[in-house]
Each structure stands twice: as C-alpha cells, then as structure tokens.
Amino acid sequence: MNFALNEDGEALRQAAQRFAERELAPGVRAAESRGCWSDEVLRVVDGFGLAGLDVPAERGGAGLGSLAKAVLLETLAHGDAGGLLAADPLGLAAGALVACPDVTTAKTLAAACLGREGACALVVAADPGRAPTRIEWTPARTRWAWITDGDDLRLLELSAAVAAAPALAFHASGGGSIGLDGARTLGAWQLDAGLGMQLRGRARLWAAAVATGVAQAALDATVAYATERIVFGKPVAHHQGNAFELAVAATRLQAARLMVRYAAAGFDDADSNAGFWASQAWLETMATAVTVTDLGVQLLGGHGFLKDHLAEKRFREARMLGLLAGGRDAADADVAAGALDPDPLFDMEAPA
C-alpha cells in the first residue's frame, strides 16, 4: 500500500521537517517557559495551512487531505508538540466541521478559525447520556465548542473567557479551563452511528499523529544516548536487554505509524470504515507512545526525570495525548462496537 504524498504534500512535509529541526526543536524549553510558541513560529505554522488541511474546500478548508495532515502533524511534533494544541485552531474539532450536516455553519466557523478570530474545541462526552459541563483544558482563543454525546452533535458559542490553568503536559499551548454554563446553543444535530464514529475517529487521528511524532523524537534521542553512553565497557545499546527493548519499540512505532496513515488514507478515500480504523490506530499509538517514551526515561536513569533532557517532556506529552477525544474508555467502546460487525477485510463465507 502506497502512502506517498502528492507533490504539494511532499513539499509541505520537507519544509515542515526543516522548520521543526531548525526552529522548533532548539526552542522547546524557551517556549515552555513562555507558555506559548513565539509569534514568528505561529506565523510559519499558519503558512503551512495546518488548520484546514483535512477540511474539504467546500466546507472552508484547504482540502489537501487527512494523510497530508497526519504527516505534517507528526513532522512538527517531532520538533516540538508542546504548542500544537494552540497553533491549530481547529485541531481535534476539524472532524466536527466535516461531520456537521449544516455546510454553511461549517464554512463560517472554518473561516473564523483560520482567520484567527477564535478556535474550536471538541468535547467527547465520556458518559453517554450526561452532557459535560466543563472543558477541562482548551486554548485561550476558544470561542466555540462542539459537544458530541453518543451520536448527537451540538455547537455552543461560549459566553465566558477561558480561565488560565496549567496546560497539562503541553505547557507551550497556554490556555486553561472553561465552564459551559450560559453557553448559547447555535445548532444541534442527530448523527447516524457511522457519522458519529467518523467524527470521533478524525479527532483521534489528530492525537495519534502527534503522538507518533512525539514517540519518534523520544526513540531517536534514546538511541543516540544509548549508543554514546558507556556502561561496563560498552555502549548501553550493546547490552542485549536494552538492544531488544529498543528493537521492539522501533517495531511497534512503525506499526502504529502505518495504522495512522492507513486510517488517514481511508478518510481521504471516503471509506465508511475509516473512523473505526482511526480509533484502532489511536489505541495502538497511545500504548506505543507511552512505552517508547517510558523507555527513554528508564534508560536515562535519574536524568530522565530532570529537565536537563527532553525525555520527561515527551513522556508527559504521550500521557496527555491519551486523555483527548474521550480518552481510552470511549475509544475502547467504539472499537468494541465496530469489532462486533464483520470486518470488511475478512468478510468471506465460512467454510462448509
């Protein structure tokens, strides 16, 4: 299966890779201390068109596709994932613009967000039947919130400003928490089960793509350290137990990356199973990212918990990403529901 980007997508990836290496990675700690990426960094990221890549042109986006968006997110996260939640004003909510039955509403919000007038948040209710009353963390510019509870979708215009609060692991995204009391309902729609799965899957794909970049950066740093650090007369990586763990980590990460890109390609092909595949990819990628980043902390020993290295940053980011889009319980529920139906890849008659 070919996951190669088209000419425009590949040019974008290469530019993002150079930018991540030369600008994002060297400025990680400064951005965390400041609580945001610099204005110059945000201007460059805006120039990549990150926010609208996976939103169709008829709904106000660039329409380059979910695969291009996933690759770009992974590439930028390899340099620094810390500011991505704030730099992408659609973020996890881009799927809501695609799923929303009201195209006019989708286009209006896309134009506002891409014009930096505000940002959208997506809240996946962890307990179907109980509407959430608060967004625990959201970028400071958030003006609208999409709420999905089971297969319902509501759009709220927030009435209060975001109250400053720690941005969990993503210190360079600033932001805080906000209550939903008093928010004005702009629209409410009933989605069929398939469209609801697509919406949640697109949100999970965003988080999984970022987690892939975080985990790859952690693995690269761990391998570099393990091949330079001498213990008992040879590099740490040349001890069999460590070498095997690094090999397993690299293998799992590549498998997770392929799952992410497979799901992204499914969205681009308008495959009805793409939401299910994206939820599967999210589960595998989150487990892998935690394993890989934890290995980086462990091989560094006590240094892994200090800010002298970036191992601790990547470990907390991997953990944080697993809390988005409803967390593991919601993803498990979706994958379990999907797994009860025949898998289209293996929908064959049983032998007589």
> Looking at the predicted structure, is the pLDDT value of residue 150 above 90?
no
Neighbours of 102 (CB within 10 A): 14
pLDDT level of residue 212 (50, 70, 90 thresholds): very high
- Residues 254-264 have a mean pLDDT of 97
Cβ–Cβ < 8 Å for 324, 203: yes
Q: Report how far residue 191's alpha carbon sits from residue 211's, in angstroms, rounded to the nearest whole number.
A: 28
Q: What are phi and psi of 263, to 5 degrees?
A: -65, -40
Q: What is the pLDDT of residues 159-195, one digit of tens each?
A: 988 988 766 789 999 889 999 989 999 999 999 988 9
Q: 314: exposed, middle or buried (C-beta count within 10 Å: 0-12, 13-18, 19+)?
A: buried
Burial pattern 195-210, b for ≥16 Cβ within 10 A else e, equals bbbbbbbbbbbbbbbb
pLDDT value of position 352: 45
Q: Alpha-carbon torsion 6, 252, 300, 83, what sign?
A: positive
pLDDT exceeds cutoff 70 at 349? no
Beta bridge partners of 122: 146
Q: Which domains does the chain have, with CATH numbers?
A: 194-338 (1.20.140.10)
In the prediction, which pLDDT does 81 show? 96
Residue 269 has pLDDT above 80, yes or no: yes
Alpha carbons 295 and 287: distance in angstroms, whole number = 12
Min mean pLDDT across 13-22, 130-139, 252-261 is at 130-139
Mean pLDDT of 30-55: 93
Q: Higher-confidence residue: 117 or 2?
A: 117
pLDDT of residue 216: 98
Position 88 scores a pLDDT of 95
- Structure confidence at residue 351 as a pLDDT band (50, 70, 90): very low
**Mean predicted confidence (pLDDT) in 32-46:** 94
* Mean pLDDT, residues 4-13: 91
42: region left, alpha or beta (phi > 0 left; psi from -120 to 50 alpha): alpha
Q: CB under 8 Å to 288, separation ≥6 — which residues?
A: 211, 215, 249, 252, 253, 255, 256
Residue 36: pLDDT above 80? Answer: yes
pLDDT of residue 100: 95
Q: Among residues 220, 351, 224, 347, which one has the least CA distance to residue 293?
A: 220
Token pair of 322, please?
Answer: 């697993």
Share of the chain above pLDDT 70, in %: 93
Is the pLDDT at 252 greater than 50? The verdict is yes
Q: What angle do CA 174, 213, 313 make, to 5 degrees?
A: 50
Q: Which residues contact 346 (CB under 8 A, 6 or more apart)?
A: none
- Split at pLDDT 50, 70, 90, the class of 350 is very low
Q: Tokens representing 203?
A: 């949100």
The alpha carbon of residue 56 and the mean position of all alpha carbons in its chain are separated, in whole angstroms, by: 19
State residue 30's pLDDT score: 95
Which pair of structure tokens corresponds to residue 241? 């137990």
Instruction: Give the tens place of pLDDT for each residue, 287-326.
Output: 999 999 999 998 887 667 777 789 999 999 999 999 888 8
Q: Report yes or no: 231 and 300 within 8 Å, Cβ to Cβ.
A: no
What is the average per-residue pLDDT within 96-108?
95
Q: In terms of DSSP H, where are the helices of the chain?
A: 7-19, 28-34, 39-48, 66-79, 84-87, 94-99, 103-114, 193-228, 240-268, 274-300, 311-321, 327-339
Check whether 15 has a pLDDT greater than 70: yes
Residue 225 has pLDDT above 60, yes or no: yes
pLDDT averaged over the chain?
90
Query: What's the CA gap between 70 and 60, in Å, rounded?
Result: 19
pLDDT confidence of residue 348 = 45
pLDDT tens for residues 73-99? 999 999 999 999 999 999 999 999 999
- What pTM was estimated for this model as a whole? 0.92
